[in-house]
A and B are shown apart, each in its own frame.
Chain A
Amino acid sequence: MRKEALRTFLLSALIAFLLTFMLFTPWEQDKEARLFFKLIILLLMLTVLLSYVQSIKQAERIKRVELTYTVIRCSNCNYKLEREYREGDFVFKRVGICQCGGSLYIDMIYTIKPQRPSKPWLLR
């Protein structure tokens, strides 16, 4: 991640330098050289854009951590409790007694993946 950011920064700095160089140099005489410089700058800008896209995709992958929940129900009444999964939980495990006297058991354990954030149009 840090490597990606550093690469983007270095490329951006290089583009800025080349642009400044181009602005303060009298090019009127040499059209080919100006074209050549423009091409290089265009390619570098494309590289920066790709690097940026890649870093966003990587950040997305890191952010999307799965979350697991345990649903506890009472065998007698409509009591339902949802909490985070703990080690040792398994479905149909008896976990206690309800206030109504019925036994509490794990009814469901499920995992959810957070939704992907909506992407900018360029990345779709």
Chain B
Amino acid sequence: MNGSVEQWSSIYYMLSLLAFMFLILFNQRIQVIMWLMNITRVLKKLERMVDECRSTLINTMRKYGCTLEDLNYTINELLEFYVIEPVERDPFGVIRRLEHLINLQRGKFREIVGRLAPKADDVTRKNIENMIEASIAVNTLYRIVRHFFILGKKTKSMLIIAQLEMALPYIMRFAEAYFNAIKVFSQGKPLGDGIGPLVAGKLMLNAEKKVVKDDTVIAEVPFEGRRLIVIKALGPGGEVGKPGKVIEELVEENGGKVARIIMIDAALKLEGEKSGDVVEGIGAAIGDPGPEKFRIEEVATRYNIPLDAIIIKESLEEAVGAMKKEIAEAAQRVVDRVKELIRERTKEGDIVIVAGIGNTMGIGQ
């Protein structure tokens, strides 16, 4: 009996020694395999997301009269669309060149949507453009993850695989935010980013509106002896307009005699901060790639006009997702804040420009 127990003990000892040696020698390899397994799982999820984006776009195009037989191929090409950024080695005129490229991109999307969804009205076309942009974002993230995954496997580089695995939660946060946004875009509901236009719309509610260039609308609102010029993008289609260009022209029109420029926009909150919190600061509150912000800063500096910024804190998911109750309810608080600011810092007879910045999807005027 004792002999049998000793025999078993020796086998267990040998086995545990072997297991120990195996772990010592192959621990890094095991770790890499586990990372690769996790990346594969995420990659499959991203692939499913891209497939769903593609089928949503195809269904939407078909719904609005697309008769193309090779629509799948056209959508695949569209998902790979890219813009080459202007050269920055010679920074002279870089903003002008960037604006030109943004205009070209916008024109290209309009032309494509017009061709692929001929029966869609203007509002729906703009929403489809937003859907395309979000789909391109999801597809780009998928392609980047796939690139580094394959590269890591090919080169057997632990560094590439580890970096990719550690960045995955952040990448997936972006991917899921844009993926969920596509459904909201297809329904045309207001986005969290639409808080700026919502506030501007509230300010210009009963005033006469005028559509100016590039899908931007303005209204002159008398307020306690002051002349408010309120600006927002033309809704309810998914549009951001060209507030920079319009502000620049309005200031020039008034010979630079503008007392203040107040900008309202959604801003990304830091973790731990509360959504819907309203914060005041100075500067051009606009999250565009550059041209609009540049124009506003330029004209404000040229005529020495104070720039006030009111931001509403949101997470990325909230900004590109459907507007949440706490954010929608913040709109009235912002309106009151703007009025208070105008009373405190301007006098009767002054001209004040108030710009509601953001995507005006689901928000009219």
Task: Using CB atoms and an 8 Å cutoff, list the residues of chain A in contact with chain B.
Answer: 29, 32, 66, 68, 75, 85, 87, 89-93, 105, 108-113
Contacts and interface: CB of A to CB of B under 8 A. Distances in A.
B189 A68 contact: yes
Interface in B324-365: 324-325, 327-329, 331, 362-365
Contacts of A113: 324
A90 B362 contact: yes
Contacts of B362: 89-91, 109
Contacts of A108: 328-329, 331
Contact of A110 (B8, B201, B328, B365): B328
B364 A112 contact: no
A110 B364 contact: no
9 contacts: A32-B8, A68-B322, A75-B206, A87-B188, A92-B201, A109-B323, A109-B362, A110-B325, A111-B324
A62 to B, nearest CB: 15
A10 to B, nearest CB: 23
Contact of B189 (A32, A93, A109): A109
B187 A109 contact: no
A9 B12 CA distance: 33
Nearest to A85: B189
B241 interface: no
A90 B325 contact: no
Nearest to B235: A90
B312 interface: no
A91 B325 contact: no
A87 B324 contact: no
Given A32-B8, A110-B328, A90 B323 contact: no
A30 to B, nearest CB: 9
A91 B322 contact: no
A119 B333 CA distance: 35
B328 A90 contact: no
A112 B324 contact: yes
B258 to A, nearest CB: 26
A91 B201 contact: yes
A113 B190 CA distance: 15
B243 interface: no
B205 interface: yes
B325 A93 contact: no
B324 A109 contact: no
Given A68-B189, A91-B363, A111 B235 contact: no
A66 B189 CA distance: 12
A110 B324 contact: yes
B264 interface: no
Nearest to B8: A32
B236 interface: yes
